[in-house]
């Protein structure tokens, strides 16, 4: 409202409204703000824990991008990342985010891994892959502490090119996770052909754990992953009942608001230092 008042109603009052929100979030305004953004300063990461269900222990944290624009306020990653791609600044954005992720990983105790999301544009760009491989090597961290997450949609455009990129990432020793599994078009043969180590089952399946048919479906997905020797994480666990059902269905890893919401780096350090269960408190 302040920026709107400054630009069009100097000295007047503007009440923030859903229409105003709609307008400022529209592509054009976001494009201009992103083009002018100081990415180092305006981008940050929050971290959400991934728990081992049996021990209720943090095994990894997922780095999730946040953009705090001086003009637009907080913008969601699923909104600004596609715009960054259109503007041709995806590579720069990925570099800034990856450097921040690696810096935080270096401060976390050894057994904890970091997972980092790659967009379809990242995976299609050999220079981005070079950059990730190079910066990971320069960090001095063991690549086995890093997991790259790729959504199914990143694979459908050109599966052969995708495989080459995935193999390069995996050759570093880092591991690969297929994100949001069950929402896209991956077939069994895609899963089998690509060098994934982990499958993250989309959060729409966590909701289905409430009924018998849904539970059978989720257990079948778990069984499929097991037969392909893939580790399996269930996303979007929001209730204790879902956690119990997921554990009974054989999921050894889970993520979701019930276990821990994404937090800023300071809180991450506090949570890791304390008992894992305190994360929830
Ligand atoms: P994702 O990788 O599947 O990440 C999980 C998203 O689900 C996150 O949203 C997280 O906050 C949310 N979430 C986690 N647990 C729960 C739950 O229990 N219930 C519900 N309703 N939601 C939950 P977020 O942070 O808004 O990120 C959205 C998507 O944006 C991510 O989905 C990922 O695909 C993308 N993204 C985030 N950070 C990055 C990044 O650095 N690079 C790229 N390329 N994509 C990113
Ligand atoms: Mg993810
Ligand atoms: Mg996901």
Alpha-carbon distance values, 91 to 39, 70, 159, 265 (Å): 12, 22, 20, 23
Distance between CA atoms of 268 and 197, rounded to whole angstroms? 25
Distance between CA atoms of 133 and 139, rounded to whole angstroms? 10
- Residue 201 has a pLDDT of 95
- % the chain with pLDDT above 90: 69
Residues constituting the chain: 281
- Cα(62) to ligand 2 centroid in Å equals 7
Helix (H, G, I), strand (E, B) or coil at 166: helix
Taking the CA of 67 as reference, the closest ligand is: 1
Distance linking the first and last C-alpha atoms of the chain: 35
CB 245 within 8 A of CB 215: yes
Is any ligand 1 atom within 6 A of the Cβ of residue 234? no
Nearest ligand 1 atom to the CA of 257 is 18
- Residue 95: pLDDT band (50, 70, 90) is very high
Count of beta carbons in the 10 Å neighbourhood of residue 57:
14
Is any ligand 1 atom within 6 A of the Cβ of residue 81? yes
DSSP-derived secondary structure for 38-100: -HHHHEEEEEEEEEETTTTEEEEEEEEEEEEETTTEEE-HHHHHHHHHHHT-HHHHHHHHHHH
- Check pLDDT > 50 for residue 88: yes
- Residue 281 has a pLDDT of 46
Whole-number average pLDDT of the chain = 90
- Cα(64) to ligand 1 centroid in Å equals 6
Burial of 130 (0-12, 13-18, 19+ CB in 10 A): exposed
Region 204-208: mean pLDDT is: 96
Region 31-38: mean pLDDT is: 94
Q: Pocket of ligand 1, candidates 117, 152, 243: which has the most ligand atoms within 8 Å of its Cβ, to mutate?
A: 117
User: Model pTM?
Assistant: 0.91
Of residues 46 and 156, more confidence is placed in 46
DSSP-derived secondary structure for 179-197: EEETSS---HHHHHHS--S
Closest CA to 105 of 131, 138, 142: 142
Region 122-129: mean pLDDT is: 94
- Cα(242) to ligand 1 centroid in Å equals 19
Of residues 272 and 175, more confidence is placed in 175
- Residue 59: pLDDT band (50, 70, 90) is very high
């Amino acid at each position: 409202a302040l920026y709107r008042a400054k630009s069009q109603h100097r000295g007047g009052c503007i009440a923030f409204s859903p229409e105003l929100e709609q307008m400022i979030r529209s592509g054009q305004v976001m494009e201009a703000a992103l083009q002018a953004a100081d990415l180092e300063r305006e981008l940050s990461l929050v971290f959400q824990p991934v728990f081992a269900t049996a021990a209720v222990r943090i095994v990894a944290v997922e780095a999730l991008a946040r953009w705090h624009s001086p003009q637009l306020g907080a913008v969601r990653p699923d909104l600004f990342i596609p715009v960054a791609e259109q503007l041709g600044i995806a590579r720069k954005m990925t570099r800034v985010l990856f450097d921040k992720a690696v810096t935080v990983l270096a401060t976390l105790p050894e057994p904890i891994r970091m997972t980092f999301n790659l967009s379809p544009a990242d995976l299609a760009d050999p220079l981005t892959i070079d950059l990730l491989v190079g910066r990971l090597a320069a960090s001095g961290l063991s690549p086995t502490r890093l997991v790259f997450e790729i959504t199914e949609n990143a694979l459908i455009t050109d599966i052969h090119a995708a495989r080459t990129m995935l193999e390069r990432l995996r050759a570093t020793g880092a591991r690969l996770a297929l994100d949001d599994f069950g929402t896209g078009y991956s077939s069994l043969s895609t899963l089998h052909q690509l060098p994934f180590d982990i499958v993250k089952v989309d959060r729409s399946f966590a909701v289905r754990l409430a009924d018998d048919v849904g539970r059978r479906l989720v257990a079948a997905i778990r069984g499929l992953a097991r037969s392909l020797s893939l580790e399996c994480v269930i996303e979007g666990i929001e209730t204790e009942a879902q956690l119990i059902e997921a554990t009974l269905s054989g999921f050894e890893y889970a993520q979701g608001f019930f276990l821990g919401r994404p937090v800023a780096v300071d809180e991450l350090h506090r949570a890791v230092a304390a008992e894992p269960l305190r994360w929830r408190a």
